[in-house]
Amino acid sequence: MPPTARSATRTPMGDVSNLSVPVLASSKSLKRPLATVDNDEPAPPDGYIAINNFATELWSAEALDIVHEMGKEANRRNPDLHGICVYGDYFTYALYDLVESRLREWRALFTGDSKSMEAWYLLEAITYFVAVSGDAFDSIDDGDRFFAFVHLFCSAWHTMAKRLHTAIPSSLLPDIPNASNVLMTAAKIVTDWGDVVGEELEDLPLLLRIMLCRDGLPWLEKSTCIMGQNGEKPGDEPPRKKSKMQSSISSTDKHIEQLAKLPFAQAEHEARKPRAKTYEWPKVWKKYQKDYAGGGFPIDGANGFDITKWPKRVRERYSVDNVSVYST
């Protein structure tokens, strides 16, 4: 039995074939009901939506439309929605393949123009998709692949955020209305994965917070990936920026404020552990692609994870109504 991603916590893994990813409505249908927030808060900028009526939970319409398409793609891969019976981790692997394909698109956009908003929107969308997918990614039965996937996710965000933050003559992050929320969501995702991936990758949240602090943007941790998804109400979220009236501050926050006063290269050097994994995107992507991306497809006769594109004979073979599937 291969190690599970959460084997470090010794938590037994159950059948995850019934995982599902919510299909977000398109941005056009989201704008009307969700663009109105508390009267004390300004309306979201044009092209941005305050999810669940949280003023700080700001996402671009461009990214949310990509998330909408990714959700539909995910549903086409979900065995439960198509009366298909396959091995338990099928949908988890299908989601990995889906996000990997989008990261491949992001790589092409970033390589073409590392400061383009199109590249930002796509990585923003990937982040939202991962955030709303629950335990889908750390439920995989291959711990090594999960660690490599987290490394790839960290590398993508470190590469893009650093490129924008260190732009000449000044950082471009303050020009992006939701830079703080998106980066802190990525940081929260990695923090939540921390008990699995360990210390080697845990410094990404710290580095993102240092960048935001240096730019004068909100940099305190989020309490959950997407505010409202766990029943929170507007007003429940803790401050995202340190208040002048705040009487106490954690040692980590003090450390961030101190590092933020340094040139970023020096701050990054002091923040990272000596044995930390590299975040150099070309190297990380090349190794991941070699080891995992685009690997062989496990269902005999199928032509990809999209079940709607399977040949009829393959769908019939793996139909829940076909008793023979249980003997294969």
Establish if 11 belongs to a structural domain: no
Q: Give the chain's end-to-end CA distance (angstroms, integer).
A: 19
Q: What distance in Å separates the CA atoms of residue 127 and residue 24, rounded to the nearest whole number?
A: 14
* pLDDT band at 13; cut points 50, 70, 90: very low
Question: Which tops the pLDDT comparison, 7 or 59?
Answer: 59
Q: What distance in Å separates the CA atoms of residue 285 and residue 293, rounded to the nearest whole number?
A: 9
Q: Tokens at residue 300, please?
A: 């005999």
* pLDDT band at 3; cut points 50, 70, 90: very low
* The most confident of 60-64, 226-230, 276-280, by mean pLDDT: 60-64
The stretch 3-21 carries a mean pLDDT of 36
- DSSP per position, 204-219: HHHHHHHHHHHTT---
The stretch 192-207 carries a mean pLDDT of 80
Domain interval for residue 176: 26-327
- Fill in the DSSP letter of residue 200: G
pLDDT value of residue 328: 46
* pLDDT band at 294; cut points 50, 70, 90: low
| Number of domains present in the structure of the chain | 1
Establish if 15 belongs to a structural domain: no
- DSSP per position, 240-296: SS--TT-----HHHHHHHHHTTS-HHHHHHHHS-TTPPP--HHHHHHHHHHHTTT--
pLDDT value of residue 161: 97
- Fill in the DSSP letter of residue 323: G
Establish if 247 belongs to a structural domain: yes
Question: Which tops the pLDDT comparison, 30 or 119?
Answer: 119
**Residue percentage of the chain with pLDDT more than 70:** 77
Question: Which tops the pLDDT comparison, 322 or 291?
Answer: 291
- Fill in the DSSP letter of residue 84: B
Establish if 227 belongs to a structural domain: yes
pLDDT value of residue 4: 42
Which residue, 176, 60, 14, is CA-closest to 24? Answer: 60
Establish if 2 belongs to a structural domain: no
The DSSP bridge partners found for residue 58 are 50
The residue behind tokens 């190297």 is 283
pLDDT value of residue 15: 34
* pLDDT band at 5; cut points 50, 70, 90: very low
Q: Tokens at residue 276, please?
A: 């930390």
Phi-psi domain of 262 (left: phi exceeds 0; alpha: psi -120 through 50; beta: other): beta
Q: How far is CA 261 from the centre of its chain?
A: 29
**Residue percentage of the chain with pLDDT more than 90:** 56
Establish if 264 belongs to a structural domain: yes
pLDDT value of residue 140: 87
Q: Average per-residue pLDDT in the chain?
A: 82
Establish if 20 belongs to a structural domain: no
The stretch 95-118 carries a mean pLDDT of 95
Q: Report CA-CA distances (Å) from 196 to 5, 163, 321.
A: 7, 28, 38
Pairs from 171-178 (Cβ < 8 Å, separation ≥ 24): 171/211, 171/214, 171/215, 172/115, 173/211, 173/212, 173/215, 173/217, 174/215, 174/216, 174/217, 176/117, 176/120, 177/44, 177/45, 177/48, 177/58, 177/60, 178/48, 178/58, 178/59, 178/60, 178/124
pLDDT value of residue 42: 73
Residue 127 pLDDT more than 80? yes
Establish if 12 belongs to a structural domain: no
